[in-house]
Amino acid sequence: MRIELREAGFAYLQGTPFASIALAGVSLCIEPGERIGITGPVGSGKSTLLELLAGLRQPGTGSVYFDGLPAARRRKKTVPGPGRIGIAFQSPESCLFEKTVIADVASGPRNLGINEAPARERAEAALKSMGLDPVSYGRRSPWSLSTGEQRRVALAGLLALEPEVLLLDEPSASLDPAARESLTGQLLKINGKGVTIVIAGHDMDEMARFARRLVIIDEGRLAADGPAAALLTDTGLMERHGLEAPATVRLSGMLAQATGRPVPPFLTEASAASFLRGLSGPSEPREPRHAS
């Protein structure tokens, strides 16, 4: 599905003394199969933007188009029904409610009117693509799992709907580094199967690993929109919008300053490693032995 915002704006509590503008004049087009990161300082309007893209809120000004069709204000039918666009808010595991993992994941397809058996099949496939074995996890209670596992179950619940677009608000927040990395890996695989994935978040290291395109929102306005590799290595741009460039990019800046010669910005750990290896001469690096 193609989602397009044209000059979209949104204000909370309009007409009250507490009114606050969350978004103003944002134009953005999300093409099928993209892998997009949305970032910006706290309170910049990222979460509101996700809700507009999901059709959960209507823009106060401007408009949203789903597959080229405008979503009419106050008419529910013009917003794509549940299932086509999946959205997960922060800590989605707090929405788990069924007695078993498999029942929870299957509840989405069941809601859409799919029969027990095919819904179960979809749930099992969804659990597998989140890296959870349906046989050993399916019958367990969601509350017997670790936070990282719970989060994957919650995301599997979205996947079981077989959505075309996944909108995720800080999917890896408060997970430990190992759980964080494996989640990014699974999302990359799912995107590889053609699902559009949009992640809102603050972790630029994660954005460097995940996003192909990056959108920066600052004070409700679109501040930048372009290839992630170009934006993430532009330290000036990052700083202007109160963001911290990925650690590898910061490292290249520090090396350039220390050596007094230009150092290409590293977007991946591997490129940083090969640069350092070059500095230290031809000697072989020590065998990596720590757990991966």
Q: Return d(Cα 64, Cα 58) in angstroms, integer.
A: 8
Shortest distance in whole angstroms from residue 200 CB to other proteins: 11
The torsion angles phi and psi of 95, rounded to 5 degrees, stand at -95, 0
d(CA 195, CA 85): 10
Does 244 bind other proteins (CB under 8 A)? Our answer is yes
Report the residue number, 27 or 84, with the smaller CB distance to other proteins.
Answer: 84
Smallest gap from Cβ 264 to other proteins, in A, equals 15
85 is an interface residue for other proteins by CB under 8 A: yes
Q: According to the binding rule CB under 8 A, does residue 34 interact with other proteins?
A: no
- Pairing verdict, β 3-12 and 20-30: antiparallel
Closer to other proteins at the Cβ: 81 or 226?
Answer: 81
Q: Which pair of structure tokens corresponds to residue 138? A: 């399916």
Of 215, 264, 269, the C-alpha closest to 243 is: 215
The correct pick among 34, 45, 49, 51 for binding other proteins (CB under 8 A) is: 51
Smallest separation (angstroms) from other proteins to the CB of 83? 6
24 binds other proteins (CB under 8 A): no
How far, in Å, CA of 190 to CA of 103, rounded? 22
Kindly identify the residues of this chain, within the stretch 98-117, that bind other proteins according to CB under 8 A: 107-108, 111-112
In whole angstroms, the minimum distance from the beta carbon of 165 to other proteins comes to 11
Nearer to other proteins, 115 or 280 (CB): 280
How many chain residues bind other proteins (CB under 8 A)? 75
* Chain residues 174-193 in contact with other proteins, contact rule CB under 8 A: 174-179, 181
Paired tokens of 215 = 């959108």
258 lies in the binding site for other proteins (CB under 8 A): yes
Q: Which is nearer to other proteins, 118 or 192 (CB)?
A: 118
Task: State which of positions 119-158 bind other proteins (CB under 8 A).
Answer: 143, 146-148, 157-158
| Residue 213: closest CA among 34, 1, 26 | 34
Exactly one of 3, 87, 197, 231 binds other proteins (CB under 8 A); that residue is: 87
**At residue 143, what are phi and psi to the nearest 5 degrees?**
-85, 0
Q: Of the two residues 43 and 192, which places its CB atom closer to other proteins in the complex?
A: 43
Yes or no: say if 227 and 234 are a contact pair by the CB < 8 Å rule.
Answer: no
We find the least distance from the C-beta atom of residue 84 to other proteins, in angstroms, to be 10
104: left (phi over 0), alpha (psi -120 to 50) or beta: alpha
Beta bridge partners of 216: 39, 224
Nearer to other proteins, 12 or 139 (CB): 12
Contact status: 94 vs other proteins (CB under 8 A): yes
Buried b (16+ CB within 10 A) or exposed e, 91-122: bbbeebeeeebbbbbbbbbbeeebeeeebbeb
Shortest spacing between CB 207 and other proteins, in angstroms:
11
**Interface residue with other proteins, options 77, 97, 193, 262 (CB under 8 A):** 97
Closest CA relative to residue 285, chosen from 274, 252, 265, 264: 274
Cα 75 to Cα 227: distance, rounded to the nearest angstrom: 35
- Shortest Å distance, C-beta 158 to other proteins: 7
User: Which one of residues 8, 28, 38, 161 is an interface residue with other proteins (CB under 8 A)?
Assistant: 161
